Amino acid sequence: MKHHMLKQFAITLIAGSAISVCAQGLNGLNSSNPAQAWLVTAEEAIQFKGEEGFDAQPSLRPRAVIPLIDIVKPEPAVDLKVKAPFAITVQFKGQPDAPIDPATFKVMYGALKLDITGRITKFVKVNKEGFSLENAQIPVGRHRLTLQVQDEKQRVAERELRFEVE
């Protein structure tokens, strides 16, 4: 299924509309081909209700000893507005009894939570401390990303990033 989605990226790239990440220069990754890969296409933003996801109330998880997800860039705000491309930097904080398991990291888009993890991890290495994505290209509109990670005791941390691209 992932292979099928990669074929869809190429078609979307030719069409030229979507959220994208520039492969060149990300975390030391250099490519002689300045190809772009799409995080969310404009069509997926409609299909997976990105606008509706922006307006939905956040799901509440029970409070306990869980790992934490801190969004460093863009700095979260109530009416966060950004211009593409922009950086996304995330830090994970595990609890003393269990470190973060980076293999459990997920990013979901919109109200219907389209899994776009592979679109990000294709260009950045997610480790126990987090990750940094330098050139997120996202179409104009309001968007919601839900980030999840677990620690080695399978305790789940979840954090939302809501923003509007002008």
> Is the peptide bond preceding residue 85 cis, with omega within 30 degrees of 0?
yes
> Residue 144: what pLDDT?
94
Where are the domains positioned within the chain? 2-165
* Cα 21 versus chain centre, distance: 11
- Check if the beta carbon of residue 40 is closer than 8 Å to that of residue 118: no
pLDDT band for position 54 (50/70/90)?
Answer: confident
More confident residue, 62 or 26: 62
> Residue 59: what pLDDT?
63
For residue range 135-163, list pLDDT tens digits in order.
Answer: 988 899 999 999 999 999 999 999 999 99
For residue range 98-147, list pLDDT tens digits in order.
Answer: 999 999 999 999 989 999 999 999 989 999 999 999 998 889 999 999 99
CATH number belonging to the domain at 2-165, selected among 3.30.9.10, 3.90.1720.10, 2.60.40.1220, 3.40.50.2300 = 2.60.40.1220
Quote the tokens at residue 111: 């109200």
How far is it, in rounded angstroms, from Cα 122 to Cα 126? 10
Residue 129 φ then ψ, to 5°:
-90, -20
How far is it, in rounded angstroms, from Cα 8 to Cα 47? 15
For residue range 8-43, list pLDDT tens digits in order.
Answer: 333 223 333 344 443 333 333 333 433 456 788 888
pLDDT band for position 56 (50/70/90)?
Answer: confident
Contacts of 42 (CB under 8 A, 6+ apart): 17, 18, 139
